[in-house]
């Protein structure tokens, strides 16, 4: 199982539009079985961050859609990451049991990453291109149009 630690979330500059907003952060994932690390900063790949909390009905509705997206796109060329704002470990574990995520889940209990990206409602999806610039941000459950837009950014960002 992978353990994720948020090392450095911050926004550089005072951006007024999503396209000019640059986010510098590093997700260090410890692979406890193999004792090695994965650092996102080593890879210039698009990242989809899905912010949620366990008791949010819309977040739960979106979870299956995120899981399907991850099964199709998560890998070396794209990263799909759930970002939980739940502080209780039992809430986080409940989410993992319920949705059986096979992709990283970052715990953002202090909401530092959420705040750095202006996330104030849940679920919120933030898509970063390979240069870690915000290219798309949406609030609420995904409909077909939102899903199409997310996929198009993943396909064109490589």
Kindly tell me the sign of the dihedral angle through the C-alpha atoms of 110, 114, 118, 122.
negative
Query: Position of tokens 């960002």?
Result: 157
- pLDDT tens digits, residue range 28-47? 544 333 445 545 666 678 88
Kindly tell me the sign of the dihedral angle through the C-alpha atoms of 137, 9, 21, 116.
positive
CA-based Rg of the chain, rounded to a whole angstrom? 15
**pLDDT recorded at residue 91:** 81
On whether residue 107 sits in a domain, the answer given is yes
Whichever domain contains 51, its CATH number is 3.40.30.10
Paired with 52 in beta bridges are 84
On whether residue 32 sits in a domain, the answer given is no
Number of structural domains, the chain?
1
Range of the domain at 146: 43-156
CA distance 108 to 143: 25
On whether residue 12 sits in a domain, the answer given is no
pTM over 0.85: no
What pLDDT band is residue 97 in, cutting at 50, 70 and 90?
Answer: confident
On whether residue 55 sits in a domain, the answer given is yes
* 107 or 128: which leads in pLDDT: 128
- Distance set, CA 158 to CA 6, 43, 100, 128 (Å): 24, 11, 27, 12
Best-predicted range by mean pLDDT (24-38, 61-75, 79-93):
61-75
On whether residue 18 sits in a domain, the answer given is no
On whether residue 63 sits in a domain, the answer given is yes
Residue 15 has pLDDT above 90, yes or no: no
Residue 9 has pLDDT above 90, yes or no: no
What's the first-to-final CA gap in the chain, in angstroms? 27
On whether residue 58 sits in a domain, the answer given is yes
Residue 58 has pLDDT above 70, yes or no: yes
Best-predicted range by mean pLDDT (1-10, 33-42, 68-77, 120-129):
120-129
On whether residue 121 sits in a domain, the answer given is yes
Residue 111 has pLDDT above 80, yes or no: yes
CA distance 120 to 85: 11
CA distance 140 to 122: 6
Q: Where are the alpha helices (DSSP H) in 77-121?
A: 89-99, 112-116
3-state secondary structure of 47: strand
């Amino acid at each position: 199982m992978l353990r994720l630690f948020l090392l450095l979330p911050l926004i550089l500059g005072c951006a007024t539009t999503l396209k000019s907003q640059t986010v510098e952060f590093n997700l260090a994932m410890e692979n406890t079985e193999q004792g090695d690390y994965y650092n996102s900063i080593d890879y210039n790949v698009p990242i989809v961050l899905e912010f949620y909390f366990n008791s949010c009905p819309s977040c739960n509705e979106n979870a299956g859609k995120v899981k399907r997206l991850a099964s199709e796109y998560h890998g070396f060329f794209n990263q799909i990451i759930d970002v939980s704002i739940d502080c209780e470990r039992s809430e986080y574990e409940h989410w993992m049991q319920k949705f059986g995520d096979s992709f990283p889940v970052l715990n953002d209990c202090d909401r530092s990453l959420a705040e750095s990206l202006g996330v104030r409602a849940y679920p919120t999806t933030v898509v970063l291109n390979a240069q870690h610039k915000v290219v798309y941000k949406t609030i609420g459950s995904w409909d077909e149009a939102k899903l199409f837009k997310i996929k198009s950014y993943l396909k064109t960002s490589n």
